[in-house]
Amino acid sequence: MRTFMDVHDDSTRLGKEIRLMPQSAKDAKAAEFNIEEVDWDPRSDGNVVCLLVAPDADAVRSYHAALGIPCGDVTEVSGLV
């Protein structure tokens, strides 16, 4: 498994949607796509940054699509500072 970061536009709308989404729905989709959510952060620049462990970038994109969350660029992270 590898670690990926992705960025979503419009943190106000998306942050609220993520908070309102039942954890059971996120857990079911995470299991379906073999995803582990590490963290997500609504940023002051209007974006939400997600950190996930996944088999590949396509799994990250598919996971977000299944949740109805538009997904921006997905970048593999080899280490954290």
CA distance 67 to 26: 7
pLDDT tens, residue by residue, 17-41 = 777 878 888 889 999 999 998 987 8
Four-CA torsion 51, 56, 60, 63, nearest 10 degrees: -130
pLDDT of residue 52: 94
Q: What value does the mean pLDDT take over residues 44-68?
A: 89
What is the radius of gyration, based on Cα positions, of the chain?
Answer: 12
Reported as type and span, the H/E element at residue 50 is strand 47-54
Number of domains in the chain: 1
Which domain range does residue 18 map to? Answer: 2-77
Tokens of residue 57, six digits: 């970038």
Q: State the CATH number of the domain containing residue 24.
A: 3.30.70.3090
User: If we measure between CA atoms, which residue out of 35, 37, 74, 40 comes closest to residue 55?
Assistant: 35
